[in-house]
């Protein structure tokens, strides 16, 4: 598995990481044994980056990762967590005091003295643009509460604002075949500034697994049931903001352009990971089998599998079916 520098830190992270929202909540039931099996399967396959957040299952995802870390000394995994959604997303809540309370809770959940990386969890634009935000984050680093910080963002404009700040280690943003705008300016700007990019929602919440049909349904407590129109949080976080039927049509066209013997999710992850400027792709997995399959995308990178035909299809499908709705929005 290719390892890449985490911004200007001395750490490296795998080109294919693991998203662990599924191990918290909002994706139907994932029991604790299964959650630990997902972490084990990923680590055994060479994954060295776990992405989590203090709000995933109200700390459940972090606590399960904490159990993994404690049981596996020498694990070599970097844990990136997030903060900022335990209170209303109002600028006045992004204070040094709240940052301290939130990071202390994550340190306890994860069982670590210092967080490897904490990301602001899609804060309002005013917070991303305020000097005070970065002063407070620098304070956390100076105190040793966190080793590094980054910003998870919704839009390309927010990403560019955060990349301009000198001590930002990473930006987390949606990059996938249904979300190409970051390729225009965000990835080049990050690369020029030495800022790492984590590509989230790489499978468009599973639409790019190629498994779903018009008849697929999701559990009532799964955000793919309750946030399709942005009822609970930004609609861009569910199916990447693409309407389900359009997403199915787009996924079918991409599936027709796959290299031999490569599945749609694996080709998608390898394609994202090989965009210049992307540091790590962080697919979520609900089962160890999914985690292993996703890590296998690392093999395509090692073998330099030719993805040029798939890449052409990605751009054609985006232009035909998605650009008009997606590009102006995120």
Site residues (vs ligand NAP, CB under 6 A): 19-22, 27, 51, 82, 121-122, 152, 172, 200-206, 209, 211, 237, 265, 282-286, 290, 293-294
Least spacing, CB of residue 211 vs ligand NAP, in Å: 6
Q: Is 100 exposed, middle or buried (0-12, 13-18, 19+ CB in 10 A)?
A: middle
Cβ closest to ligand NAP, residue 142 vs residue 329: 329
At closest approach, how far in Å is the CB of 45 from ligand NAP? Answer: 12
Least Å distance, CB 147 to ligand NAP, is 19
Q: Please, which residue, 10 or 116, has the CB nearer to ligand NAP? A: 116
Nearest residue (CB) to ligand NAP, 143 versus 221: 221
Rounded to the nearest whole angstrom, what is the least distance from the CB of residue 13 to ligand NAP in the complex?
Answer: 14
Closer to ligand NAP by CB, 33 or 74: give it: 33
Cα distance from N-terminal residue to C-terminal residue, the chain: 30
Task: Please list, in sequence order, all residues whose beta carbon lies within 8 angstroms of the beta carbon of residue 22, skipping any fewer than 6 positions away.
Answer: 30, 35, 38, 284, 285, 286
Residues 6+ apart with CB under 8 A from 73: none
* Residue number, 73 or 214, with CB nearest to ligand NAP: 214
Query: What are the start-end ranges of the H helices in 73-130?
Result: 96-110, 125-129
Query: Cβ of residue 302: shortest distance to ligand NAP, in angstroms?
Result: 18
Give bridge partners of residue 222 from the DSSP assignment.
27
Beta carbon of residue 245, minimum distance to ligand NAP (angstroms, whole number):
17
CA dihedral 112, 15, 51, 315 (to 10 degrees): 160
CB of 149 to ligand NAP, least distance (A): 14
Q: CA-to-CA distance for 281 and 285, rounded, in angstroms? A: 12
Is residue 277 within 8 Å of residue 190, measured between CB atoms?
Answer: yes
- Give dist(CA 182, CA 173) in Å, integer: 8
Q: Considering beta carbons, is residue 165 or 224 the nearer one to ligand NAP?
A: 224
- Which one, 21 or 318, has the nearer CB to ligand NAP? 21
Task: For residues 119 and 313, give the distance between their C-alpha atoms in angstroms, rounded to a whole number.
Answer: 33
């Amino acid at each position: 598995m290719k390892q890449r520098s985490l911004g200007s830190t001395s750490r490296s992270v795998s080109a294919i990481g693991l998203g662990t929202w599924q191990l918290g909540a909002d994706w139907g039931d994932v029991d604790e044994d299964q959650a630990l099996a997902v972490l084990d399967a990923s680590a055994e396959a060479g994954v060295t980056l776990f992405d989590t957040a203090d709000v995933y299952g109200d700390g459940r995802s972090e606590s399960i990762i904490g159990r993994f870390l404690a049981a596996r000394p020498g694990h070599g995994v970097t844990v990136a967590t997030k903060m900022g959604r335990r209170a209303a997303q109002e600028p006045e809540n992004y204070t040094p005091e709240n940052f301290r309370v939130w990071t202390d809770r994550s340190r306890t959940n994860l069982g670590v003295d210092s967080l490897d990386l904490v990301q602001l969890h899609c804060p309002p634009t005013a917070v991303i643009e305020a000097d005070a935000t970065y002063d407070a984050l620098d304070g956390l680093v100076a105190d040793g509460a966190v080793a590094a910080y980054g910003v998870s963002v919704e839009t390309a404009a927010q990403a560019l604002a955060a990349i301009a700040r000198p001590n930002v280690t990473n930006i987390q943003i949606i990059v996938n075949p249904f979300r190409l705008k970051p390729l225009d300016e965000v990835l080049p700007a990050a690369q020029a500034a030495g800022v790492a990019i984590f590509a989230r929602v790489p499978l468009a919440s599973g639409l790019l697994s190629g498994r779903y049909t018009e008849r697929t349904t999701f559990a009532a407590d799964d955000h793919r049931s309750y946030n399709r129109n942005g009822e609970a949080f930004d609609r861009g976080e569910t199916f990447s903001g693409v309407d389900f039927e359009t997403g199915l049509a787009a996924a079918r066209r991409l599936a027709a352009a796959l290299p031999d013997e490569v599945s749609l999710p694996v080709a998608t992850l390898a394609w994202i990971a090989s965009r210049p400027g992307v540091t790590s792709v962080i697919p979520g997995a609900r089962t160890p089998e999914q985690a292993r399959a996703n890590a296998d995308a690392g093999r395509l990178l090692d073998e330099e599998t030719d993805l040029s035909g798939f890449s052409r299809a990605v751009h054609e499908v985006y232009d035909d079916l998605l650009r008009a709705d997606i590009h102006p929005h995120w």
